[in-house]
Structure 1
Amino acid sequence: MALEVPYRSIPDMFLQRVRATPNGQAFAVPNADDTAITWLTWSQVGERASAIAAGLAGLGVGLEDRVSILSGTRLEWVLVDLGINCAGAATTTVYPTTEPEDAAYIVVDSGSKILVAENPQQALKISGADTEVTHVILIDGLADANATPPQLTLAELEERGRAALAQQPDLVERIVETVGPDHIATLIYTSGTTGRPKGVQLLHRGWTWEGVAQAGLGLFESSDLQYLWLPLSHSFGKTLLCGILHVGVPTYVDGRVDKLVDMLSVVQPTLMCAAPRIFEKVYNKTVTTALGAGGAKAKIFGWAVGVGKEKVALEQAGKPVGGVLKAKFAVAEKLVFSKLQQRLGGRLRVLVSGSAPLSRDIAEFFAAANLPIMEGYGLTESSAANFVNRLGKLKIGSVGQPLGDLECRIDSDGEILLRGAPVMRGYHNLPKETAESFTEDGFFRTGDIGELDSEGFLKITDRKKDLVKTSGGKYIAPSAIEGMFKAVCPYTSQAVVVGQARNFVTMLVSLDEDAIAGWAAGGPLAGKSYEQIVTAPETQALIAGYIEELNGKLNRWETIKKFTILPRDLTIEHGEITPSMKIKRRSVETNFATQIDEMYAGSLVQM
């Protein structure tokens, strides 16, 4: 059945929300010392976004013109994005971690007229580039009167907009009337695990569809309090904004990932979406703390996890949980799981994971702790949210069922194909790549391999281009093995399987600095640097034990024959992971070619 969307565009959806609940809580920010949060109502958000829209219109921004935002996640990002759409324009997103060369490429390729930068340092990323930018708007810091292109602060832009609205009170409403479902709302450049970023043209039709489709899941309620820390430069963040607008979910906005765990206890959210890395870090911390305590505490922890997993296994199989097990679980919750729940704020109702694969073992651990993670799936090219598990309908190991009326089909080679409103119009200025991305009957080729079960639950088995084929002709799905290892070894930060055209499989491992320092604290490696700890024989032996445990779960041809602990973690700055935490395998293999060559030294390599 077709999903009914009662909006023509994002600004139409936004203005309807402002009119419906003007005094309702919209977005919150931390106070100066991070001890409390301050709310803006929908009416206040409406006023500020309208002022930004009118200010942009005064700078000559019109229908489908591009305005780039180069900033971290914060309230102003949301206000500017809404202001851009209310001016009829399209937001081009640039991650604040993007190198100057790539940032300038995105601003130039998108044809952006305006750049909104978080601060003067971010604005410098386009200096010297031949762009179409006529003005730079600074969120923080002072505008440079002598800069080219001319600069003004966001406060000045809003002031100009308010003055324009005093003259023409219906200015924004008139502009919004001209914006339709088939206009571009957003140009998001895929951070891409290969090659130059491509601009994905996403329409108002798809984003308003996302807002309505998310409401039907039971994951978003207007009574919720959401913690939004995800990069808003990423499609996952944008799709959540659409859900927020349609449902009216009060949302705390704070992109400081280093403050996440501390602020959870202040904000006490009921809803949080995250990339798997966040759940892995919580898992590592919980497990290593329990192991570090030793004795009775470690035993009780192990018992509680066992009880929780037994309960989850029965629920997953659709079998009743007996009275004895229920009683045991109540004890486990009181002694162990309640502490973990409190560390995450104590009120979490819904956790959603997306943007990269979540390890099955880690999903089982959180479900055992009564913090079930609703894993979902989607791509930038299809507005981020396409499949997701629902509360009470969670199938661990799957990414859930489709949203709304999205069509999905599995191609003859196992590739997942999608068709529907949230799918992009195409890649900006790339007609050949656009044509290659669609089947003749209009399905988008995701590049992911998967399978649908009889109830419509989708299971992703790997990226089509990430499948590793050994020289023996066996296919291996690296992300599945990497996810298993992260669950087996609580000291892992990243794991990368290597084996393409090789005669055996190896793995590069980076360790979680906090977790491994905690392990080292009681022994001869106490106080040593990360580099000293990872090269020590004791650490090598520790990780070798976990590799052995992993190999016990794998097919013979998948087993890890050798491993190397890396001298540092993988980083965005070194081009090894994308800002949405996906591994860029080619970059990793290039940057650590010496370590890989050492593992294969003397072995037969076939091309």
Structure 2
Amino acid sequence: MNAENLIGFENIPQTIPHFCIESFRRNSKPDALAYKLGDTWHKISGTEAIERVKRIALGLSKLGVRAGDRIAIISENRPEWSLVDLAILSLRAVNVPIYTTQAVEQIRFILENSGAKMLCVSGKKLFKHAEEAIRSVEQLERLIFFEKDAIPENDRRAISIDDVEEHGENSELTSFEDELASVTKDDLATIIYTSGTTGEPKGVMLTHNNFVSNIVAISNGLPIKNSDRSLAVLPLSHIFERTVFYVLCANGVSINYCASFDQIGTHLHEVRPTIMTAVPRLFEQVYHKIVKKGKSAGGWKTRLFNWALEVGQDYWLAKDTHGSISPVLAAKHAFASRLVFSKWRDGVGGSLRFFVSGGAPLSKKLSYAFWAAGIPVLQGYGMTEACVASANRSEDNKVGSIGIPFEGIEMKIADSDGEILIRGANVMKGYFQNPEDTARVIDAEGFYHTGDVGYVDKDGHFYVTDRLKDLFKLSNGKYVAPLQVESLLKQSPLVSQTVVVGSGRKQVGALIVPDWEALKEVLKDEKIDATGTREELCENPQVIKRIQRDAVELTRELSDYERVKRVYLLPREFSIDKGEMTPTLKIKRGVIDEKYGEAIDEICGS
């Protein structure tokens, strides 16, 4: 172990609760965890966090939780999520997280398939959403509510987390140390159900060692300080944020919870994070908001803004490709940084050292814009079955790549089809009660087959081009990687969502859900009639032509067969409720192809 914050951790049991509790104890921070209630931020010290984990663990034990029992959690980000998680793991029990966006049928499936003994629910809203599934699952012995006023009157199984802690407080705290001492690195820590784009979710089994090996590897690879502050925005039910929580907690970082994307703006200003994780969707929204504000300023301010954007792209292109930066370009960038980009930095709190981005590729244009503004974005790569496998480093970043593997993790490209393969202590134990699917994705040599297609450059940086199953072939035999084309289209401020289509057709097209507010402003500025309903605007030839212009321009540097020739506009966003997206907001391409088959034929040719 080389990470400064983890010195001595090699001498303690290699489990998640041992690492987190030792960090809470060692760093003894007054703001180890923090959350906002109403207008006030509340802090939980490292000492208090340890005591609460102990009380919750002993309370759960009194309620009958034993080693190997599965305890499910459905909640937005809040301290209770993490404290209960650590308590569950301290008992050698297994945490089964459920996305707050999961459909009722999937919630029922996860609870039944995992054999969950208890379920933790945050409050009334989520209970109401999941109630039908909860009431139909007979094996649930207890419902534990984080908010006392959410407890239903007619359910004897219901109890509040406060009551659980009270049960624990009356236990001998020495027994907690006995429970904790029994946890081993090979124990199962969690079953996370993948939000697959086809079929039923599969339960990914991850051990303590899967996570701890990742904690150590990432801590050795990224410059994390125990003086850092983070803002937990992505759902803790997702492997990315869950892993990052463990990494930051072990390193003594102060963790501030953000319950929803709506709160990000105010939380950034109040917390002033120094390190943070995000997904491309967030960067796209922030970028489009900044561009909209800059271009609406008018006069010399808009000209200065546009000039700064161009300078930033030129400057970071030269940096990224190791080209020469002339004294004139360097001076222009310094000027743009002081007058324009300083406001960008203030917008994310003014103290950010770096973002780590995951989940999908971020376009080069957006990456260059943020790097040029002094907001480093390190693209990473991972998945539920292999935690976090790789990332760029501050001192070794290549925009567009997913970086290099973390210590102890092997990655390679399959000779047969270009698939990215991963081997290491981070790779899952297997799929829960599903040896057939496990054998399909983990080969005899121990390599996990990711399903992603990519390549590796001469410097060892890996690149993802698309999902193997998402590649489609045009009628002329040419293959298209839709993910890359979609990342280009999302650079347009007029595009909210897009799906690139054309499988088996003559040409590539795009289904686009416009950003209606931005679109109407542009139509007004360009003297195009913007009256009518969304449905009417979607059929307006001038409106279609205007968005198509952006699509053609943004894809013009691709090969001719990959370029978007025509677009089809949709009035409403793709959604989980309509079965078009997974709980992690991945597009179900098969559903889209079937649902919008006639529209696809219209723009792509049958």
TM-score range, shorter chain: over 0.9
User: Deviation of residue 361 (structure 1)?
Assistant: 1.8
Match of 1:193 among 192, 197, 200: 197
Residues 423/226 of structure 1: CA separation in 2 closer, same or farther (3 Å cut): same
Match of 1:269 among 270, 273, 288: 273
SS of corresponding position for 1:466: coil
In the alignment, the residues of structure 1 paired with residue 278 and residue 521 of structure 2 have an alpha-carbon distance, to the nearest angstrom, of: 25
- What residue is the counterpart of 1:86 in the other structure? 90
SS of corresponding position for 2:469: helix
Deviation string 1:226-245 (CA, Å, 9 cap, x unpaired) is 01111111101110111122
Residues 540/527 of structure 1: CA separation in 2 closer, same or farther (3 Å cut): closer
In the alignment, the residues of structure 2 paired with residue 192 and residue 5 of structure 1 have an alpha-carbon distance, to the nearest angstrom, of: 36
In the alignment, the residues of structure 1 paired with residue 296 and residue 29 of structure 2 have an alpha-carbon distance, to the nearest angstrom, of: 49
Unmatched 5+ residue regions in structure 2? 4-8
Match of 2:475 among 466, 471, 478: 471
Unmatched 5+ residue regions in structure 1? none
Range moving further from structure 2, 47-56 or 532-541? 532-541
User: Deviation of residue 354 (structure 1)?
Assistant: 0.2
User: Deviation of residue 255 (structure 1)?
Assistant: 2.1
- What residue is the counterpart of 1:492 in the other structure? 495
In the alignment, the residues of structure 2 paired with residue 348 and residue 284 of structure 1 have an alpha-carbon distance, to the nearest angstrom, of: 20
Contact 2:74–2:121 under 8 Å retained in 1: yes
User: Deviation of residue 295 (structure 1)?
Assistant: 3.5
User: Deviation of residue 44 (structure 1)?
Assistant: 0.9
RMSD over aligned CA atoms reads 2.1
SS of corresponding position for 1:404: coil
Paired residue type of 1:470: L
How many residues align? The count is: 594
Deviation string 1:195-238 (CA, Å, 9 cap, x unpaired) is 21100000000111121122122342211110111111110111
User: Deviation of residue 289 (structure 1)?
Assistant: 2.4
Deviation string 1:322-355 (CA, Å, 9 cap, x unpaired) is 4322221121012211111111111111111101
SS of corresponding position for 1:193: coil
Say whether residues 1:126 and 2:130 are aligned partners.
Answer: no
Paired residue type of 2:394: L
- What residue is the counterpart of 1:387 in the other structure? 390
- What residue is the counterpart of 1:409 in the other structure? 412
In the alignment, the residues of structure 2 paired with residue 562 and residue 545 of structure 1 have an alpha-carbon distance, to the nearest angstrom, of: 9
User: Deviation of residue 537 (structure 1)?
Assistant: 4.0
User: Deviation of residue 294 (structure 1)?
Assistant: 4.0
- What residue is the counterpart of 1:25 in the other structure? 31
User: Deviation of residue 162 (structure 1)?
Assistant: 1.2
Match of 1:400 among 394, 398, 403: 403
Range moving further from structure 2, 534-543 or 232-241? 534-543
SS of corresponding position for 2:411: strand
User: Deviation of residue 518 (structure 1)?
Assistant: 4.0
- What residue is the counterpart of 1:151 in the other structure? 158
In the alignment, the residues of structure 1 paired with residue 459 and residue 132 of structure 2 have an alpha-carbon distance, to the nearest angstrom, of: 49
Range moving further from structure 2, 329-338 or 228-237? 329-338
Residues 137/520 of structure 1: CA separation in 2 closer, same or farther (3 Å cut): farther
Contact 1:382–1:423 under 8 Å retained in 2: yes
In the alignment, the residues of structure 2 paired with residue 286 and residue 450 of structure 1 have an alpha-carbon distance, to the nearest angstrom, of: 32
In the alignment, the residues of structure 2 paired with residue 2 and residue 464 of structure 1 have an alpha-carbon distance, to the nearest angstrom, of: 36
User: Deviation of residue 138 (structure 1)?
Assistant: 1.1
Residues 585/8 of structure 1: CA separation in 2 closer, same or farther (3 Å cut): same
Contact 1:71–1:122 under 8 Å retained in 2: no
Paired residue type of 1:19: R
SS of corresponding position for 2:498: strand
In the alignment, the residues of structure 2 paired with residue 529 and residue 333 of structure 1 have an alpha-carbon distance, to the nearest angstrom, of: 41
TM-score, normalised via structure 1 length: 0.93
Match of 2:222 among 218, 224, 238: 218
Deviation string 1:334-387 (CA, Å, 9 cap, x unpaired) is 22111111111111111111012212221122112221210000110002x111
Paired residue type of 1:568: R
In the alignment, the residues of structure 2 paired with residue 56 and residue 125 of structure 1 have an alpha-carbon distance, to the nearest angstrom, of: 25
- What residue is the counterpart of 1:44 in the other structure? 48
SS of corresponding position for 1:358: coil
Deviation string 1:502-528 (CA, Å, 9 cap, x unpaired) is 122111011224433443565676786
User: Deviation of residue 592 (structure 1)?
Assistant: 2.8
Match of 1:13 among 7, 14, 19: 19
Paired residue type of 2:256: Y
- What residue is the counterpart of 2:6 in the other structure? none
Contact 1:219–1:350 under 8 Å retained in 2: no
In the alignment, the residues of structure 1 paired with residue 78 and residue 537 of structure 2 have an alpha-carbon distance, to the nearest angstrom, of: 37
Say whether residues 1:63 and 2:71 are aligned partners.
Answer: no
TM-score, normalised via structure 2 length: 0.93
User: Deviation of residue 143 (structure 1)?
Assistant: 2.4
User: Deviation of residue 261 (structure 1)?
Assistant: 1.7
User: Deviation of residue 122 (structure 1)?
Assistant: 4.4
Contact 1:70–1:93 under 8 Å retained in 2: yes
Question: Where do 1:42-441 residues align within 5 Å?
Answer: 42-119=46-123, 120-122=127-129, 124-140=131-147, 141-147=149-155, 150-164=157-171, 168-319=172-323, 321-383=325-387, 385-412=388-415, 413-441=417-445
Paired residue type of 1:255: A
Residues 262/195 of structure 1: CA separation in 2 closer, same or farther (3 Å cut): same
SS of corresponding position for 1:560: coil
SS of corresponding position for 1:208: helix
Range moving further from structure 2, 458-467 or 550-559? 550-559
Contact 1:209–1:422 under 8 Å retained in 2: yes
Range moving further from structure 2, 457-466 or 82-91? 82-91
Contact 2:104–2:130 under 8 Å retained in 1: no
Contact 2:24–2:32 under 8 Å retained in 1: no
Residues 322/414 of structure 1: CA separation in 2 closer, same or farther (3 Å cut): same
In the alignment, the residues of structure 1 paired with residue 166 and residue 539 of structure 2 have an alpha-carbon distance, to the nearest angstrom, of: 58
Contact 1:52–1:161 under 8 Å retained in 2: yes
Contact 1:356–1:581 under 8 Å retained in 2: no
User: Deviation of residue 564 (structure 1)?
Assistant: 0.6
Residues 485/465 of structure 1: CA separation in 2 closer, same or farther (3 Å cut): same
In the alignment, the residues of structure 2 paired with residue 418 and residue 511 of structure 1 have an alpha-carbon distance, to the nearest angstrom, of: 37
Say whether residues 1:442 and 2:450 are aligned partners.
Answer: no
In the alignment, the residues of structure 1 paired with residue 508 and residue 354 of structure 2 have an alpha-carbon distance, to the nearest angstrom, of: 37
User: Deviation of residue 110 (structure 1)?
Assistant: 0.6
User: Deviation of residue 320 (structure 1)?
Assistant: 5.0
User: Deviation of residue 432 (structure 1)?
Assistant: 0.3
Contact 2:494–2:519 under 8 Å retained in 1: yes
SS of corresponding position for 1:465: coil
In the alignment, the residues of structure 1 paired with residue 49 and residue 228 of structure 2 have an alpha-carbon distance, to the nearest angstrom, of: 19
Residues 513/154 of structure 1: CA separation in 2 closer, same or farther (3 Å cut): farther
